[in-house]
Amino acid sequence: MIDHIGLQVSHYHASKAFYLQALKPLGYELVMEIKTWGGLGVDGVPEFWIIEGEITKPSVHIALRAQTRDLVDAFHKAALSAGGIDNGAPGIRSYHPHYYGAFIRDPDGHNIEAVCHIPA
């Protein structure tokens, strides 16, 4: 099981604002901040870190679990409102019959996904 992940971003404050808005529907909030490092997480546990520096290359794909399909939809809407670029509207994917995901590109081009595996 993965405990946490770190992603280098080009502009910390812009990325922090983006992720706070985009991940809010999934329950993420800023849990810890040290200068240009920010740990976002749920229930006080920082599990998604952004750090200002040279952008992580090549771009990465990170999938975050959503408890419901409505939360996947809300993530997609919030991420687009925050300036993300659509990389796959919410919907069923071919990975398995109940894989419901949505994809966006963050300000640095990383592919961020919300996914729900629970049947409708």
Kindly report the CATH number assigned to the domain that includes residue 26. Answer: 3.10.180.10
Output the DSSP codes for 24-93.
GGGT-EEEEEETTEEEEEETTEEEEEEEESSPPSS--EEEEE-SSHHHHHHHHHHHHHTT-EEEEEEEE-
pLDDT in tens, 21-46: 999 999 999 999 999 999 999 999 99
Domain count, the chain: 1
CA distance 112 to 12: 17
SS3 of residue 105 by DSSP? strand
Count other C-beta atoms under 10 Å from residue 100's C-beta.
23
**pTM, 2 dp:** 0.95
Domain assignment of residue 25, given as a range: 5-116
pLDDT in tens, 41-75: 999 999 999 999 999 889 999 999 999 999 999 99
